[in-house]
Amino acid sequence: MRLAVKWIMLSAAAAMSAIAGVAGAAGAPASYTADPAQSRLEFVGVQAGAEFKGVFRKFTATIDFAPDALASAHFDVVIDVNSLDTMDKDRDTTMRGSDIFDVARWPTAHYATRSFAKTATGFSAQGALTLRGVTKDVAIEFQFAGAPGKPTLVGTATLKRLAFGVGQGDWKSTEWVDDAAKINFSLVLKPKP
């Protein structure tokens, strides 16, 4: 009888440990990194009235998050801006150039959160985005699914490109390219090593 009770207690402890590894112990977030093979960071713009999409092929994301530990949560994302891909070589070359992202001077962008809140549809975070050497506040909206073995973060943000200097010379005008750009992300998370 004692042996059976001990086995049940050990099994329960192992199960609780596994759950904590996915969702974070109460009051403490779990630590993850984005799986680059399964994650996507997309941007959407409007040029001449038509929507175009692109992705950043290379980025890293360190995610400390649990729904019951928002005060301790933190996202840190570093984007290789040179890895942008809109499936149009001429547009990609222009966007990497000095009038748009100027990747020769600013090869990376960085987003770090400051605070989190629960919303009716999931969560929101306030953070700072540094792009082209300019740092501005950017809010994100996201959902977190803490499924065992494959937790995910899916969300969006909207920013004004001209606030970051993304658009110099002829590209400063919003006649052909809208100021607003949308960011969509889908991150498949794995435990941080």
Domain extents for the chain?
2-191
Please state, rounded to an integer, the average pLDDT across all residues of the chain. Answer: 88
CA angle 97, 101, 102 (to 5 degrees): 50
The answer to whether residues 190 and 33 touch, using CB atoms and an 8 Å cutoff, is yes
- Read off the pLDDT band of 43 (50, 70, 90): very high
> Which CATH number does 2-191 carry?
2.40.128.110
- pLDDT, tens only, 69-122: 999 999 999 999 999 999 999 999 999 999 999 999 999 999 999 999 999 999
Distance between CA 63 and CA 33 in Å, rounded? Answer: 6
pTM of the model: 0.84
